[in-house]
Structure 1
Amino acid sequence: NHLLNTRWPKSLRLGSVVEQVANDSDPIEPLFQALADQRPVNPEEVPTDADRTDPAVLTRTPFIFDARYGTRASTVVTVGHDGRVCFVERVWQWSSGGARCVGERRLQF
């Protein structure tokens, strides 16, 4: 957690994907792939006012891989040029083998 306009690596990565798929007819899967990102953070990408040696800072990825504290759900909301809204949420269940998607909810209006 930090100031709202802090340029965190995960925010920059996700923002880049949003820009790439903004005009796609179906951006849902690429956005979920971006939310599943677990690539390690390069310490040089971390803002200078954050502790670049703190493992908690370096492991802040969109998808937190941890059975106790990890990602429980991933949500994508899109709004089309016609005003249609699509809300999709995937629920994750953790076990000794990692996380697996156990459900998806979709709402369009």
Structure 2
Amino acid sequence: MPKPSAANLFSELPASLAAELVNVLVETPTIRIERIVSTGQCSEPGFWYDQEQSEWVIVLKGEAQLCFADGTPAKTLCPGDHLVIPAHQKHRIEWTSASEPTVWLAVFFPA
């Protein structure tokens, strides 16, 4: 059995990045928890995430906007805002804050 470990989600936040930083915090056969750090990144034009798993995501710091291909209204997320993105709901990151790191916590789970 693994031993307990502790870390801080806000430690070692870079001021700028060439690409989003994704750290897998926990992974089992059915669940994955990631810390994602964005510093102004967004999805490439025309790119849509289309994931096999559902995703619960919360913004802990910074801001971001998610858009959806099915016409669901765009969601601007501020610290504490969270939502569930069902499996195969195509979505994209329209923008993330360029003035401070945006820290996300994402939990992926079976549809």
TM-score strictly above 0.5: no
Identify, as 1 or 2, the structure richer in strand: 2
Give the number of the structure with larger relative contact order, counting CA–CA contacts within 8 Å between residues 6 or more apart.
2
Bigger radius of gyration: 1
Structure 1 or 2: more helix by fraction? 1
TM-score normalised by L of structure 2:
0.29
